Amino acid sequence: MAWTVLIVDDHAGFRASARALLEADGFHVVGEADDGPSALEQARRLHPQVVLLDVQLPGMDGFAVADELAAQSSAPTVVLISSRGRGTFRGRLATTSARGFITKAEFSGECLSQVLS
């Protein structure tokens, strides 16, 4: 069975690229959101198994969204993404409830699969 994924990023171009890459690798993208509050609403409504979540979002950053998602019953697995490197967020990555972090430059369905395994 394919993983169900919610893509959260404020750049429509990245969401479209991520959707294409994920669907080509067998993931089922169930929705998209462009800010933190919308991500929370979509996750509650769609119940994805995975939330691919940009760190920098309008309205609420990805770390805050990840914390709120983790507090939900049957919380989805969160994987953070950013155009900035891991070192930029080192302190926050050490304490986040997210399963992993992928830079946008290295993002692929295969990379997401490795984080999820």
pLDDT at position 1: 65
**Model confidence over 13-44: pLDDT tens digits?**
999 999 999 999 999 999 999 999 999 999 99
Of 67, 69, 24, residue with least CA distance to 46: 69
d(CA 98, CA 75): 11
Contact present, 31 and 38 (Cβ < 8 Å): no
Average pLDDT, the chain: 93
Third-level CATH fold of 4-105:
Rossmann fold (3.40.50)
